[in-house]
A and B are shown apart, each in its own frame.
Chain A
Amino acid sequence: MNSTLNREARPSPNVASEMGKMQAEPLLPIEKKLIGWSLGLGIVLLIVLVAIAKLVMPAP
């Protein structure tokens, strides 16, 4: 991990102009796939892991 919360972590003075220059980029199919798979896998794993936690190895 890089040095993180350092003093360098200050915004340069052109944040607003960067926001203004930003161009619209429609979602690509690969992005939709990434979002869908990530969310779907997360929900499936949530159900499976909660089931394991409660049924197979409950906390003492």
Chain B
Amino acid sequence: MNEGVKGISEDWLSLWIGLLVFVLALGVLAGADILGWVVTTSVWTDVTKSLGTGSKAFSGLGGIGALVATYVALLVVMSIGAAALKADVKRFALGFTAVFWLSYLCWIIGSWASFAANTPADMKKFGIGWSLKLTSEGGFIVALLAGLFVGNFMPRFAEWMKEAVRPELYVKTAIVILGGFLGVTAAEKLALATSVMFLGLAAIICAYLIFWSIVYYVARVWFGFSREWAAPLASGISICGVSAAIATGAAIRARPMVAIMVSSLVVVFAVVELLFLPFLAETFLWHEPLVSGAWMGLSVKTDGAAVASGAITEALVLGKASAQGVNYAKGWILGTSATVKVFIDIFIGVWAFVLAYIWTRHIEAKGTDKAKAREIWERFPKFIIGYVITFVVILLLALAASPATLGKVKAAMGEANAFRGIFFVLTFFTIGVMSNFRKLWEEGIGKLAAVYLVCLFGFIIWAGLLISFLFFGGVKPPLAG
């Protein structure tokens, strides 16, 4: 990245790229299948049949043709985006090429039936007697593990591709696209969707206030951290990881290195959570699907890891429920995780403002350096605007549509959703690449990690589970079909 030259933020860029995919996908409504060439991946026993196209109209392209077309299109769009970020476009393009192909290879590997098939019917269909039952989202786990391998054992390669290692850009773009997909889902059960939104909002209001105060107390009193360290640490551990740590650090005028160190820790712990919480949810919460979704949103830090864990949890929980003979509709668990996460993000700016007010008026009052209300807007995560636009537009379209038009809306969002899956797998891989456990340990981050460990695994995860149960317990997603 060119230091000192500032382009647009990844936040705004994700909004524009997400909206571009969304608008192009809507071409289906006007009879123009603009994105039908996008590659899709299916569970396979014959790898030559693993890839396909988003629309049958482009089936002549073949799976490999669709994959190449998708790569070229994304390379062009993302490289233009890199230019807007004022990144090194050539390095970005090379890095993105590596990130894309490695991520997609992981997705294909993860879709092998012996990894992915998750019901007796699926195993019979594929003629296999055993499977890891990772579901069709198993490729995400493979991508995460591959990214961790690159980040920890191939540091030169990780450094070479670092310009394109941007998990927040990829996941925010995915979330903007996800809004449209969830709009269709919500239109089919509007009362339940409204309820999920209220419950999500209520859950995060409580979590913010309870989590932050306890983590701040533990960091200050039990571990003896200074205020400069304790506040970003409390926000990072208790609210939304990296974004909250950075916003809080800026709000209390902490040195930049504080937020950077806390952020590094947040990413590593988010990966640890991502690797085991969805499987805990599958084992113990498969009969409470929305509790498991809310739990991921509340407990897993960073947007990328939280929404990604929602996706894995949905696949695992739906698979297990299906094996027990209950077929829930897709989208509700992931939608609950995303809803909780989006509300958390919305309030980061408000919380940062509250802290800035207290710090500048009471703790480090200098008379001239007062908190400003406009900082709420400055810290507002802009990609959420895109999420709201795609959600509301599709919700209104779906509610007003005739059955024929509704079919087209679903087809359009299906194509957009294929891109959402691709941005997800890029997110998983790049989160792994960024998580250099050894480097953090070597640099003496032990005391910070101890606070994180105590608060996250001793309190946040379980309090998040309790709050999720209180609000979402007994609320079931609709059945499929």
| Chain A residues near B (Cβ < 8 Å) | 1-13, 15-19, 22-25, 27-28, 30-31, 34-36, 38-39, 41-43, 45-46, 49-50, 52-53, 57-60
Contacts and interface: CB of A to CB of B under 8 A. Distances in A.
Contacts of A7: 1, 162-163, 165, 434
A58 B444 CA distance: 49
A21 B28 CA distance: 61
A12 B243 CA distance: 19
B209 A42 contact: yes
Contacts of B447: 19
Given A13-B443, A42-B213, A59-B195, A5 B206 contact: no
Given A15-B445, A18-B257, A60-B192, 6 more contacts: A1-B246, A4-B302, A10-B260, A16-B446, A49-B471, A58-B195
B243 A38 contact: no
Contacts of B434: 5, 7, 9
B133 interface: no
B213 A34 contact: yes
Q: How large is the interface on B (under 10, 10 to 19, 20 to 34, 35 or more residues)?
A: 35 or more
B330 interface: no
A53 B471 contact: yes
Interface string B274-288: 000000000000000
B342 to A, nearest CB: 12
Contacts, number: 164
A4 B243 contact: yes
A5 B198 contact: no
Most chain B C-beta atoms within 10 Å of own C-beta, residue among A12, A13, A42, A59:
A59
Contacts of A34: 213, 216, 358
Contacts of B207: 42
Contact of A57 (B198, B431, B439, B444): B198
Contact of B9 (A2, A43, A58): A2
A4 B246 contact: yes
A22 B221 CA distance: 14
Nearest to B434: A5
A52 B286 CA distance: 26
Contact of A38 (B213, B302, B443): B213
Contacts of A59: 192, 195-196, 199, 474-475
A9 B1 CA distance: 13
B264 A24 contact: no
B209 A39 contact: yes
Contacts of B431: 5
Interface string B445-469: 1111000000000000000000100
A25 B230 CA distance: 11
B212 A1 contact: no
Given A3-B11, A5-B431, A10-B264, A35 B242 contact: no
A43 to B, nearest CB: 7
Interface in B236-289: 242-243, 246-247, 257, 260-261, 263-264, 267
B216 A45 contact: no
B243 A46 contact: no
A15 B448 contact: yes
B379 A49 contact: no
A60 B385 CA distance: 28
B220 to A, nearest CB: 6
Contact of A46 (B224, B264, B467): B467
B55 to A, nearest CB: 33
A46 B447 CA distance: 32
B205 A45 contact: yes
A25 to B, nearest CB: 5
19 contacts: A1-B11, A1-B246, A1-B382, A2-B9, A5-B267, A7-B165, A7-B434, A9-B267, A11-B257, A11-B261, A12-B260, A15-B448, A22-B224, A24-B224, A30-B358, A39-B210, A45-B202, A49-B471, A60-B195
Given A1-B243, A45-B205, A6 B166 contact: yes
B264 A11 contact: yes
Contact of B261 (A15, A22, A45, A49): A15
A6 B169 CA distance: 9
B226 interface: yes
A2 B381 CA distance: 8
Nearest to A10: B264
Nearest to B250: A2
B358 to A, nearest CB: 6
Nearest to B163: A7
